[in-house]
Structure 1
Amino acid sequence: MRGSLSPDPFLAARTVHESIDSNSAKSSAVIVSSAGMATGGRVLHHLKRLLPDPRNAGVIVGFAAVGTRARDLVNGASTLKMFGEYVPVRAEVADGPHFSAHADADQILDWLHGAEPPHTTYLVHDEESSADALRNRIDDELGWTAVVPRSGEGVLVR
């Protein structure tokens, strides 16, 4: 059907070599990467090649954490540092944060309600203000001890 998105010809680049080969394609392409934060991996080679061209677009799907290239793109960065050099960002960048597969605070609390109370709950995967808010909710709603460790802090888990 004309104008529809079809999986043909879909190429799953399962190896580094196949991914590198896809960078030489001259036709239009949609590149889907599981490296959503753009902090490393094969996606960086694609971004380096595609971001300088204003005919291209990048869609950041899901949550982009502070300090990641994905967040820099969402925030309108005009350049990104990759492989020791600065790459201009001329491609259009769209943000799709609501496609995240991560649970929100309400979903996490619903899940925790069915669990045995642990000695301590450690929140290690969020921005500081959001983690503090969830820590307070865990304490208030469940009566559990919840902690947001400082970056680099070691914790002995028994």
Structure 2
Amino acid sequence: MTTSHDTRAGMGQVGAGATDGAGAPATSGPVGRILIVEDESNILEALSFILSRAGWDVRGHGKGDDALDEIARLSPDMLVLDVMLPGRSGFDILADLRARPATAALPVLMLTAKGQTKDREQAMALGANAFLTKPFSNAELLETVTAMRAEMPGGGT
């Protein structure tokens, strides 16, 4: 797995250079670019590994206060967004994304350690496409992202 570090965000980035256990490419090419906005480095690393193995070009960012700038800079095909971030909440970021024409349709998977029904309801009311409560299984993450990708125009291709 190829890893580079985004010092501005303080989080690692994992590119499409992921390999399987034998060193062969995990896929023939990325299925799309996914940005993970998550401040916990161990969770970011795990998500990056799982999604890069599934063929995604994965980028990571760890702060809420400048997440919108990073989203605009990278133009991801999908966003994984934590609710509790330093500087700005994921709910506030999602509301801004939905208010902007350029990101109004961006598929967003919300993550939270708070599994309360009101959090799920708030995320969905703000326009999240899906919601996962930490901890979640690798299979649950992949199923959710795969379903979201299938709903994208052109099936994510």
Q: Is TM-score (shorter-chain normalized) higher than 0.5?
A: no
Larger Rg: 1
TM-score bracket, shorter-length normalisation: 0.3 to 0.5
More strand by share: 2
* Higher share in helix: 2
Question: TM-score scaled by structure 1?
Answer: 0.34
Higher relative contact order (CA 8 A, sep 6+): 2
